[in-house]
Structure 1
C-alpha cells in the first residue's frame, strides 16, 4: 500500500500534568530531510532520533518538536524577592553608617546583582522514556500517511481505469481507422496510381499505413499502466518509480498524438494526456 509524504502526529510523552509531547509533521520533499527542534539537553541523542525517524520515513521533509506546554505557560525567569529585600536593607544600613540620606536604589541596577534574576527550573528529561514515546508518535504518523496514501491509491486506480477504457475503445476501432486512412490515400493520389510501376503503389500504401500505425504505442502504454497497478501494491517507497512510469506513459501518449491520422486517435491521445497529467500531479505526494 502506498504512503503519502504528508502527515501529522502528536503523542503525549509524559503524564497529563507534565504537558510534554512529541509533535511530528511531514510534507512533500524530493529527498528525506529531518529537522529537529529540541532542547539542548537532548542534543546527545540527536543521532538516535534521526535514525528512528529514517526507519519509518524514506522520503519527505519531517519536522520533529518536543513540546512542553506546562513550561511554556510559565515565565522563563523569576525574581528572588528575599535577595532583593536584603539589598534594599543593605542600602539603608549604608545610609545610617554615613549618617546621610541616600536616594532609593535604581531597580534596574538591582536586577544586575547576581542571583536577583533566576532562570526557571526545568525538569530533567529522561531520554529512554522520550524515545519510547517518539516511536508511538512515528507509528501514528505512519498511520496518517497510510490513510492519505489509501485515498491517493483510489484516485490512481480511477485514472488508470479511465485510460484503459480509452485504449480498449481505440483498439476496437483500429481496423475501421486503418480502412479510412487507406481510402483517404487512394482519393488523394487518384490518377497517379496509373502512373506508378506495378507493386510501387502497394509499397507506398504499406509505408503510409505503417507511419500512421499506433498499435505499438498503445501496447507499450497498456504495459506501463499494468506496471503502475503492480507498483501500487508494494509495501515500500514507490514515488520515484511511479514518477518514472508516468513519464513513460506521457512519452507514448505524445507519440500517439503525433502519429494520429484520424480524429478519433487525436481525441484519444488528448484525453490520455489529460489523465496522465492528473496522475503525475498526484504522484508528487507519494513517498
Structure 2
C-alpha cells in the first residue's frame, strides 16, 4: 500500500444537465478525520453519500469538500408550453368574443407573455444525480493520487534520514571497545589509589580494607553504568530496521511512526547520558536532530 500525505488539493468542473458543477477537495493535517462540507442547499441531500465515499478513502486529516453550482441559462429545448393554461385562455377568449364580437383576439406574443404560459423543463434528476456522483468520484481519485504522490516524496526523505541514523550507529559501534579500555585503565588507577597501592612512593596507605572494598565497589558500579551502551545501540538498530519496514509496507503509517520515534528518541537520550567520550555525545546529538526532522515530516503522513 502507498504511503499518503494528509495535505492535498483537487478540483473538478463538469457540465451537467442543470448547469456547471464544481467540486473541490482539500485537506490539511489532523490527528483524526474531520470532514467539513460547503455546498448549496439544493445539493445538501448528497452530503451523506459524499461523506461515506470520502471516509472509505481517507482515514486522517481535516478535509473540506466544497460544491458550487452555476445554473445554466435557459435554452429553447428547456422550455415548454403550459397546454392547460393555453386551452383555458382560448376557451375564455372564445366566450368573450361571443358576447363582444368586436373584441380582438390575443396575439401569439401576448399569449407567450401570459404569466405561467412558458414552463421550464426540470432536468432529469436521475441523470443529474449520476453526473454529480461521477464528478465526486473523479475529484476523489485526483485527490487520492496527489496524497499518494506527496506521500512517496515524504517517504523517500524519511528513508534517507533513517539511513543516516544507521550510518551513525555503524560509525560509533567500533568505538565501544576503545571506550571500555579507557575506562578499565581509569578504574584500575582508582582502585590502586583506593587500596593505597602507590604509583609513586609519596602516596601513603590511608584506607582500611573495608573502606577500600567499598571504594572499589563504587568505582566498578560507576564503570558499569558508564560503558553500558551496547544495549542502546542494539535497540537503535532494531528500531531503525522496523522503521524502514513500516515505511516500505505503507498504508496508515502516521501513528506507528509516532511510536517508533518515541522509542528512537528514548535510546538517543540514553546514549547521550551515558556518553563517556566526545564521539558518543556528538552521535547522540546527531541522532536527536535527525529524529526531530523525521518527526516534522511524519506529522504530514496519514
Q: Find out whether 1:26 has 2:27 as its counterpart.
A: yes
Residue in structure 1 matched with residue 267 of structure 2 by the alignment: 252
Residue in structure 2 matched with residue 47 of structure 1 by the alignment: 48
SS state at 2:67 partner:
strand
Gaps of at least 5 residues in structure 2 are 74-114, 116-120, 197-206
In the TM superposition, residue 216 of structure 1 has moved relative to its aligned partner by 0.8
Q: Distance in 1 between matches of 2:122 and 2:298?
A: 45
State how 1:84-233 maps to structure 2 within 5 Å.
126-188=128-190, 190-194=192-196, 196=209, 206-212=220-226, 213-233=228-248
SS state at 2:248 partner:
coil
Aligned length: 240
Instruction: Tell me the alpha carbon deviations over residues 158-213 of structure 1, each in whole angstroms, 9 at most, x when there is no partner.
Output: 11011101111111111001111222333445521345569878755543332011
Instruction: Tell me the alpha carbon deviations over residues 252-287 of structure 1, each in whole angstroms, 9 at most, x when there is no partner.
Output: 111111111221111111111111111111110000
Taking only aligned residues, the RMSD between alpha carbons, in angstroms, comes to 2.8
Residue in structure 2 matched with residue 82 of structure 1 by the alignment: none
Q: Distance in 2 between matches of 1:28 and 1:72?
A: 37
User: 1:122 and 1:171, CA in 2 relative to 1: closer, same or farther beyond 3 A?
Assistant: farther
TM-score by length of 1: 0.75
Q: Distance in 1 between matches of 2:135 and 2:234?
A: 51
Q: Distance in 2 between matches of 1:15 and 1:127?
A: 9
Q: Find out whether 1:263 has 2:264 as its counterpart.
A: no
Gaps of at least 5 residues in structure 1 are 74-114, 116-120
Moved more, 33-42 or 12-21: 12-21
CA contact (8 A) 2:191 2:215 kept: no
TM-score by length of 2: 0.72
